[in-house]
Amino acid sequence: MNGRHLLLVIGAEARAIYGRASAKLAVVVALLTGVVVLLALQWLQGQAETIQANGNPITNMVEFSGPAAAGWALRVRNFFVLPLVLLLATAASFAGEIGDQTLREVLVRPVPRWWILLSKALVLSSLAALTLLLTLAPALGGGLALFGAEGPTTTGAVLLGYAASLLSDVGLIALGLLASTFVRSVGGVVVAMMLILMGDMGLRVVLKGMAWVGAAWAEDVGRALPGAALACWEGWQGEWDPWAFAGMAVLLLVGFGGTLWRFQRMDVP
């Protein structure tokens, strides 16, 4: 049990997580997202004469620039496919390993349980970061080459959006790990997360309604719920919502803390 040992464990987790189909899928989808968004913008620019809205050519309404391409790629990426694939990778590495009993095979080794959680969280976060880079690189790089940097969207703002997306992804990973301590199958975790986020959405509607009839605090609480916290990255387009980040801080604390607490006490089959 020393630093070298911990590095070996992280390396072994990396090999397992990156070796799974879910990680490969994440990498491919991330790269495709950047490239496809770029190509779509390029195609749209070529259609300036044919596609018009109220007599205005499309080029007047859509921003064509490197940062704008990167921004569109980020919106598409976060729409739902990549978070879902990341959630799959998370569930496969924890709920999946509990279910197929491979987790037992590492727990009989001289490693504390928190090492295993730490390794999984780090490697999954690195996968999230890698997918963000794989989307950003072609979209921003290709966009700058094709359209230049001119436009209202700045590179700095878009990069902040990508950074905040990493935070959102880590929050999702934390929730996925926590769900894995309750439901010991990959499908179960995905279903549980969908139910939670749907409930969260419903709750936010109710809170909005309460704010509308006069309970001012309700709106702020709604803006800090997990669903809103996971959408904290959206702030790059205009204003950052401090409530979303406060919600994210709570989510990370509850997600990782709760996972650790439950895992330490868990009977592993």
Partner 1 sequence: MASDALVTRGLTRRFGGRTAVSALDLRVQEGDVYGFLGPNGAGKTTAIRCMLGLIGRDAGEVEIFGEKDPVRQRAHVGAMVETPAFHKWLSARDNLRRATAFAGQGTAADIELALERVGLQGRADEKVQGYSLGMKQRLGIARALVGKPRLLILDEPTNGLDPRGMREIRDLLLELARRDRLTIFVSSHLLGEVEQLCSRVGILERGRMVAEGTVEELLRRSGAAVTEVDLECADAVALGRALEGIAGVSVVGDGEGDRLRVRLDGLSPAELNQRLVQAGVAVSALVPVVKSLEDLFLTLTSQELT
Footprint on residues 213-242 left by partner 1 (CB under 8 A): none
The tokens of 57 are what? Answer: 């050519």
- Rounded to whole angstroms, the Cα distance separating 30 from 61 reads 27
- Rounded to whole angstroms, the Cα distance separating 69 from 59 reads 14
Is residue 5 involved in binding partner 1 (CB under 8 A)? yes
Binder among 60, 100, 156, 195 for partner 1 (CB under 8 A): 100
In whole angstroms, how close is the CB of 108 to partner 1 at the nearest point? 4
CA 99 to chain centre: 24
Measured from the CB atom, the residue of 8 and 198 that comes closer to partner 1 is: 8
Measured from the CB atom, the residue of 86 and 106 that comes closer to partner 1 is: 106
Is residue 61 involved in binding partner 1 (CB under 8 A)? no
Do residues 140 and 109 lie in contact, with contact meaning Cβ atoms separated by under 8 Å? Answer: no
Fill in the per-residue mask, 9 to 48: x = in contact with partner 1 (CB under 8 A), - = not in contact.
x-xx--xx--xx----------------------------
B/e letters for 167-184, b = 16+ CB within 10 Å, e = fewer, are bbbbbbbbbbbbbbbebb
- Rounded to whole angstroms, the Cα distance separating 172 from 175 reads 5
Is residue 107 involved in binding partner 1 (CB under 8 A)? yes
Give CA separation, 13 vs 8, 102, 224, in Å: 9, 12, 32
Amino acid at 192: A
Binder among 25, 32, 40, 111 for partner 1 (CB under 8 A): 111
Is residue 3 involved in binding partner 1 (CB under 8 A)? no
Measured from the CB atom, the residue of 104 and 208 that comes closer to partner 1 is: 104
- Give the footprint of partner 1 on this chain (CB under 8 A): 1-2, 4-5, 8-9, 11-12, 15-16, 19-20, 100-102, 104-112, 265, 267-269
